[in-house]
Amino acid sequence: MIRPLRATQENVASGFDNPYLSFYLSIVMYQPAALDLAFQALADPSRRAMVDRLALGPASVSELAKPLAMSLPGVMQHLAVLEASGLVISEKVGRTRTCRIEPKAFNQAEQWIAERRALWERRFDRLGAFLEETKDED
C-alpha cells in the first residue's frame, strides 16, 4: 500500500525540473504566517510612516500620531497591526506607551526578498555567461 507515495512521486516527476525540486518543495511547504503579517503590516503608508519614525529611535504613541492626520485610536489600531506582526514592540511605563522597532521581523522580510533575488540574479548570470560563450564560438 504505497499508493500515496507513488502518486506524489509521479506528480513531482511530471511537475518540476528535478534540480530545483527539494529546494522548491521546502519553500512551498514552509510558509510562515509571520511573513504574511509582516508584509501585510508594511502594505499601509501610515504604518510605514510609523516605522520611518521608529527607525530614528523609540517614540511614544502621541509622537507617532503627530505627523499623521489621524485620531489616536486610529494610530493605536495601526500600532496593533505592527505589534501583531512582530515588527514593533511597545511597553507602557506609567501613562506613556513607548514603541520601538524589533529588527528580527524586518530581517526576515528583507531576507525573504533577498533570497529570491539571489536566485534570479544567478539565473541571469548563467544566461549572460551562456551568451558570452556562444558569442566566442561565432
Interface with a second copy by CB under 8 A: which residues? 11, 15-17, 20, 24-25, 27-28, 31, 33, 35-37, 39-40, 42-45, 48-49, 51-57, 63, 66-67, 101, 103, 106-107, 109-110, 112-114, 116-117, 119-120, 123
Contact 68, 59 (CB under 8 A): no
CA dist., res. 35 & res. 38, Å (int): 5
CB nearer to a second copy: pick between 51 and 76 = 51
CB nearer to a second copy: pick between 63 and 76 = 63
**Cα distance from N-terminal residue to C-terminal residue, the chain:** 56
CA dist., res. 90 & res. 75, Å (int): 13
Least Å from the CB of residue 135 to a second copy = 22
